[in-house]
Amino acid sequence: MARMSYLSAIERYEEHQHLIHDLLLSILASIQTSLKNQQNYQQLVEQYPFLELQYCLNGQGIQQGHNVCFKRQYYRELAHKGAGQDLSTRPYFLLASSNEDAHFTSPYISTATKHLCISAVKLIQTDNQDNHYLVVDVCLTELIEFILGDTQRANMTPYFKAGYGLIVSCLFCLVIYLLFKVFDGMFSLLLGKQGQSDPIQPFTIIIFVTLALAIFDLGKTILEEEILMHKDIFRHSSTRRTITRFISTILIAVSIEALLTMFKAALGQVEYVIPAVLMMFAVVGLLLALAVYVYLGAKAEDVLMQVQRLKTKQ
């Protein structure tokens, strides 16, 4: 399960925009009151791990002092830099200088940290009654995780990936073993060692191929869903997608096995007729259950989205 994608972060930002702005307003006020108290300032930074940079601009948009870097991974590159740079053309400064209210940028890719962030800017007055602007940059993906209560799970993501990676490796090793059995059986079949004495041998090879295909598809699904792609556990569509792909893999494998069993019955092994028919019924049952699940899940999510839109309008 990868960290939140930019598209998901922007969608969540649009949903919770008012809540995010209120939170950033309180953080700006807390930073302003904590600038002279190092202990309170440090507690504020630890409480909000999504904070990245803080700096101050004068009335002409010139940065006063160096950047204050909240994250250690950016400290060497960003701290003790930026003093004197002209930021008067930045959109947030143009908005803030024309209105005394606090302003927030739309999500953008930061030139400093190279990932998605938003900036909050607030007008402050110094002891000399000069206008200055306090600017704070925050990581949008970490901010969304914070307001959703998903920070601890997100921090455990590398360990989850390692576990899923181990499982996928075992599945792919099993696929390699099954393919070895397939090629061994095909080699024996081509040399005529077992083709005449065992007419079922070709079907045995097909069964191994089918199992290898099903296990490979299962491993591929786990690799994509749990390691390479972001899974939003707060959206039912994400879980429905995973279950649909998993059941589809089982359906393909069972369908092929039912067909092969029917072929065996057609070759004279009548004891396979009933198992083949039962497997066909199992495929039909799984397909119907999957259709009902997808339909009801989509209807439920549509209702939830309508409720969220009504709350947003209110």
Residues 218-262: pLDDT tens digits?
A: 888 888 877 887 666 666 677 777 788 888 878 887 888 888 788
- Average pLDDT per block of 10 residues along the chain, 314 residues long: 71 86 86 68 77 84 81 72 79 78 86 84 74 86 84 80 91 92 82 60 78 85 80 70 82 82 76 86 90 85 74 62
Residue 272 lies in a domain: yes
pLDDT given for residue 171 in this prediction: 92
pLDDT given for residue 1 in this prediction: 47
Number of folded domains that form the chain = 2
What is the distance between the alpha carbons of residues 52 and 75, in angstroms, rounded to a whole number? 10
Based on the fold, state whether residues 225 and 120 are members of the same structural domain: no
Residue 54 exposed, middle or buried by CB count within 10 Å (0-12, 13-18, 19+): buried
Amino acid type, 278: L
What is the distance between the alpha carbons of residues 203 and 256, in angstroms, rounded to a whole number? 11
Based on the fold, state whether residues 109 and 225 are members of the same structural domain: no
CATH number of the domain that residue 54 is part of: 3.30.450.20
pLDDT given for residue 133 in this prediction: 84
Q: What is the 3-state secondary structure (H, E, C) of the chain?
A: CCCCCHHHHHHHHHHCHHHHHHHHHHHHHHHHHHCCCHHHHHHHHHHCCCEEEEEEECCCCEEEEEEEECCHHHHHHHCCCCCCCECCCCHHHHHHHHCCCCEECCCEECCCCCCEEEEEEEEEECCCCCEEEEEEEEEHHHHHHHHCCCHHHHHCHHHHHHHHHHHHHHHHHHHHHHHHHHHHHHHHHHCCCCCCCCCCHHHHHHHHHHHHHHHHHHHHHHHHHHHHCCCCCCCHHHHHHHHHHHHHHHHHHHHHHHHHHHHHHHCCCHHHHHHHHHHHHHHHHHHHHHHHHHHHHHHHHHHHHHHHHHHHHC
What is the distance between the alpha carbons of residues 235 and 251, in angstroms, rounded to a whole number? 25
Based on the fold, state whether residues 93 and 126 are members of the same structural domain: yes
Based on the fold, state whether residues 174 and 239 are members of the same structural domain: yes
Residues 270-306: pLDDT tens digits?
A: 788 888 888 889 989 999 998 898 888 888 777 777 7
Last residue of a domain, one of 120, 135, 151: 151
Based on the fold, state whether residues 309 and 164 are members of the same structural domain: yes
What is the distance between the alpha carbons of residues 122 and 112, in angstroms, rounded to a whole number? 20
pLDDT given for residue 196 in this prediction: 52
- Predicted TM-score of the model (pTM): 0.64
Based on the fold, state whether residues 142 and 166 are members of the same structural domain: no
Based on the fold, state whether residues 23 and 62 are members of the same structural domain: yes
